[in-house]
């Protein structure tokens, strides 16, 4: 079986990678197919991930975290997604979308109130950005929040929100229009809404093509009231906050995509050695060899792209372009590898009992979530100075 090399990883990173790899093989792989078929949330797996400290990886110990960094989270996501993407996206959303905004933009009181449980994985956080009329166009937010007697009153609808409706969901950070700025532009702020708040309704979970063992719901806010101190960060800075959140999230989704792409290689290596056709293992045929070689090349290249973006992020360097490149390259690799893996498996690849069937169903969303592939190309071009909104020449 293929196993991702260390690439000169620091000892703590390599140790983590191997530990998560073994966990994914031993604890996730044998049972996740059943959860997937039932579209059931794997509470027991999530609890074990919490006990391992995975939800607290990039956070300081003072908040209940593991004192690691964002790259450690990416390594964990890659190894989980080599086996299953539903579990991986639960971790990704819980950390980079649920807990990270509280850590990045919250007050000390907010961090102390919410982060310990989120870091422990005993509770999950979610990020309510996307709306029915605007996914990519987040600036067209229609959800509103107004101050009334020391409370924010929130009205609106959010869609496709991961981790928002589980029994252990603690909060959703919601972006909302809180006023108007210069030239009438909407002032967007981020507000934390705890689960169970009156006026906050979690809709029926979606029936999805993939990620079937993860939690995704529509959220409705109708005269939903939370205290004024639930504002996250500065009023009117919600748009800038979610741009930072998405830049980091793209590196994480790239890592998850690499995991799926590498998982396709893993499964094809195993299957091509076992499956025979015309008197010999199909791995002996050059057509299969070339297909697997291309798959490995895609995964390898995409891994280097997200490693580079993560390194720049941790060094405090600009990484918007590199994050977009990593997300674009890695999601393409995941989709291409899932298609090729299904072809290698033939009819069995079309059966959900085989992991590549799940991989095929899971891959497409990676070209959509955290910014579509078209948005990534737009960001890359803008960073290169192409077009009227280009920021600099390269």
For residue 1, pLDDT beyond 50: no
Which residue intervals of the chain bear CATH 1.10.540.10?
11-124
How many Å apart are CA 306 and CA 321, to the nearest integer? 11
The pLDDT of residue 239 is 85
Over 60: is that where the pLDDT of 392 sits? no
**Tens-digit pLDDT profile for residues 166-219:** 999 999 999 999 999 887 788 999 999 999 999 999 998 899 999 999 999 999
Relative to beta strand 124-128, strand 169-180 is parallel
> Could you list the active site residues?
370
> Which tokens belong to 293?
């070689």
Q: How far is CA 331 from CA 250, 322, 372, in A?
A: 10, 14, 10
Work out whether strand 216-227 and strand 280-281 pair parallel, antiparallel, or are unpaired: unpaired
Structure tokens that stand for 17 in this block: 């990678």
Burial of 373 (0-12, 13-18, 19+ CB in 10 A): middle
CATH of domain 126-235: 2.40.110.10
The sign of the torsion formed by the CA atoms of 369, 58, 194, 239 equals negative
Q: Which among 67, 58, 56, 100 has a CA at the least distance from the CA of 247?
A: 100
pLDDT per residue over 109-134, tens digit each? Answer: 999 999 999 999 999 999 999 999 86
Residue 393 pLDDT: 42
Q: Which residues pair with 151 in a beta bridge?
A: 148, 227
CATH number of this structure's domain 240-383: 1.20.140.10
What residue ranges in 197-237 does DSSP mark as E strands? 200-205, 216-227, 231-232
Q: What is the pLDDT of residues 246-281, one digit of tens each?
A: 899 999 999 999 999 999 999 999 999 999 999 999
> Cα(176)–Cα(144) distance, rounded to whole angstroms?
5
In the chain, which ranges are E strands? 124-128, 144-148, 151-162, 169-180, 186-194, 200-205, 216-227, 231-232, 276-277, 280-281
pLDDT at 3: 59
In the chain, ranges of CATH 2.40.110.10 domains: 126-235
Q: How far apart are CA 393 and CA 372, in angstroms?
A: 24
Domain with CATH 1.20.140.10 in the chain: 240-383
- Which CATH architecture group holds 11-124? Orthogonal Bundle (1.10)
The predicted model gives 324-339 an average pLDDT of 98
pLDDT of residue 360: 97
Q: What is the DSSP letter of 28?
A: I
User: Does 6 score more than 60 pLDDT?
Assistant: no
Q: Is the pLDDT of residue 79 over 80?
A: yes
């Amino acid at each position: 079986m293929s196993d991702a090399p260390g690439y000169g990883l620091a000892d703590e990173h390599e140790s983590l990678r191997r530990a998560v790899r073994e966990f994914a093989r031993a604890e996730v792989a044998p049972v996740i197919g059943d959860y997937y078929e039932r579209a059931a949330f794997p509470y027991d797996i999530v609890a074990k991930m919490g006990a391992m400290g995975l939800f607290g990886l990039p956070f300081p110990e003072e908040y209940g975290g593991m004192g690691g960094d964002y790259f450690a989270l990416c390594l964990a996501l890659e190894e989980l997604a080599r086996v299953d993407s539903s579990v991986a996206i639960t971790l990704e959303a819980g950390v980079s979308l649920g807990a990270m905004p509280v850590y990045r933009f919250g007050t000390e009181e907010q961090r102390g109130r919410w982060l310990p449980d989120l870091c422990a994985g005993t509770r999950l956080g979610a990020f309510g950005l996307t709306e029915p009329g605007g996914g990519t166009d987040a600036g067209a937010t229609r959800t509103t929040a107004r101050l009334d007697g020391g409370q924010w009153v929130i009205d609106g609808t959010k869609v496709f929100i991961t981790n928002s409706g589980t029994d252990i969901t603690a909060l959703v950070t919601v972006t909302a229009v809180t006023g108007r700025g210069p030239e009438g532009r909407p002032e967007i702020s981020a507000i934390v809404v705890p689960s169970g708040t009156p006026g906050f309704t979690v809709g029926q979970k979606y029936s999805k093509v993939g990620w079937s063992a993860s939690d995704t719901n529509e959220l409705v806010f109708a005269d939903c009231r939370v205290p004024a101190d639930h504002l996250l960060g500065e009023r009117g800075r919600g748009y800038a906050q979610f741009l930072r959140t998405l830049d980091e999230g793209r590196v994480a989704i790239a890592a998850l995509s690499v995991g799926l792409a590498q998982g396709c290689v893993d499964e094809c290596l195993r299957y091509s050695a076992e499956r025979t056709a015309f008197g010999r293992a199909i791995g002996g045929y050059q057509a299969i060899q070339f297909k697997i070689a291309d798959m490995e090349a895609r995964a390898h290249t995409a891994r280097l792209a997200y490693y580079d973006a993560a390194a720049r992020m941790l060094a405090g360097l600009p990484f918007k372009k590199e994050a977009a490149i990593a997300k674009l390259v890695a999601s393409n690799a995941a989709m291409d590898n899932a298609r090729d893996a299904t072809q290698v498996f033939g009819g069995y690849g079309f059966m959900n009992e085989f992991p590549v069937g799940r991989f095929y169903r899971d891959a497409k969303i990676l070209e959509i979530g955290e910014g579509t592939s078209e948005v990534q190309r737009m960001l890359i071009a803008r960073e290169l100075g192409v077009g009227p909104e280009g920021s600099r020449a390269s």
